[in-house]
Amino acid sequence: MIVEGDYTFAGTREAVWEALLDPEVIAHTMPGTQEMVRVAPDRYEGRMRVGVGAITAAEFQLAVQLVDVVPPERYTMEIDGRGRFGFTRGTATVNLSPDGAGTVMRFRADMQVGGKIAAVGQRLLDSVSKMMTKQGLEALAAEVKRRLAG
């Protein structure tokens, strides 16, 4: 499953970069994230709970490995999430480029989903990923805005 898009933040590339890689920010903005710890400069581990409607929030153990990091321009995340309802894994690439006073983030994630959620939830995968992307970006924009204001 490919999730891609772009988003313009009202902030400099450095500020956006810093926010994107701050485990606190990730924990606040990534939908369902319960906990996110930077266990190494290029590695995060944590837990997230994702639930939709009547579906009980499923807990995933999450590991994110950063590769190909070129501050403040681009990085790639290798994502590995596992839980009782199945797994999700894949890579996501983020590119930042200045755009006037703001910063354009282009992202492209190639994610695989497996287990029960793939077997019986295919009808909703696209909608859920769209929803989570939207929620994540909006939260991130708010966070960037808050930081710049503060």
Partner 1 sequence: MSPRWLGERVPRLEDTKLLTGRALFTDDVDLPGMLHAAFLRSDEAHGVLRGVDVAAARARPGVVAVWTAADLGDYWKPGPLLVPPPPIAGIVFNAATQVPLAREKVRHVGEPLALVVAESRYLAEDALDDIVVDIEPLPAVMDLEAALAPGAAVVHDELGGNLAARARQTKGDWAAARARAHAVIARRFRYDRGAAAAIENRGVVAAWDARSEELTVWDTTQAPIPIRNGLAGMLGLGQSQVRVVAPFIGGGFGPKIMMFYPEEVLIPWAAMRLGRPVKWIEDRRENFYATTQERLQIHDAELAVAKDGTILGVRDRFLSDTGAYDPYGLTIPINSQCTLLGPYAVPNYDSEFTVVFTNRPIVTPVRGAGRQHGVFVMERLLDLAARELGMDRVEIRRRNFLPPDAFPHDHQILFQDFRPLVYDSGRYAEAMDQAVAAIDYERFVRVEQPKLRAAGRRVGLGIVSYIEGTGIGPYEGARVTIEPSGTVRVATGVGTQGQGHFTTFAQLVSDVLGMDPSKVQVITGDTREFGWGTGTFASRGAVVAGNAVHEAAIRVRKKVLALAGAVLDAKEDALVLECGSVHVKGAPERAIRLGDLAVKANPLRGGVTPGTEPGLEATAYFGPDRGNAANGVHALIVEVDAETCEVRILRYVVVHDCGTVINPTVVEGQVQGGVAMGIGNAFYEQLVWGENGQLMNASFMDYLLPTALDVPAVEMRHTVTPSPLNPLGAKGVGEAGAIPAAAAFAQAVEDALQGGIEVLEMPLSPNRLFELMQDGAA
Partner 2 sequence: MKPAAFEYLRPGSVDEALELLERHGADAKPLAGGQSLVPAMNFRLAQPAVLVDLNGVADLAGIAAADGGLRIGAMTRQRAVERSAFAAERAPLLAETLPFIAHPQIRNRGTVGGSLAHADPAAELPAVMVAAQARLLLRRRGGERRVEAERFFTGLFATALEPGELLTAVELPAMAPRTGWAFAEVSRRHGDYALVGVACLVTLDGRGRCASARVALLSVGEGPVLAPSVAAALAGAAPTPEAVRAAAEEVDADVDPPSDIHASAAYRRRLARVLTRRALTRAFDRAASR
List of residues contacting partner 1 (CB under 8 A): 84, 86-87, 89, 112-116, 118-120, 122-123
Note whether 38 binds partner 2 by CB under 8 A: no
State the alpha helices, DSSP H only, in the chain.
13-21, 23-29, 116-149
Which positions from 67 to 86 touch partner 2 by CB under 8 A, shown as an x/- string?
------------------x-
Note whether 131 binds partner 2 by CB under 8 A: yes
Minimum CB–partner distance for residue 80 and partner 1 (Å)? 9
Residue 67 touches which of partner 1, partner 2, none (Cβ within 5-8 Å per kind): none
Token look-up 């295919």 returns 122
82 vs 103: CA distance, rounded Å? 33
- Per the document, the length of the chain is 150
State the DSSP code for 140. Answer: H
Note whether 130 binds partner 2 by CB under 8 A: yes
5 vs 113: CA distance, rounded Å? 20
Note whether 128 binds partner 2 by CB under 8 A: yes
**Given 41, 53, 100, 150, the residue binding partner 2 (CB under 8 A):** 53
State the DSSP code for 11. Answer: S
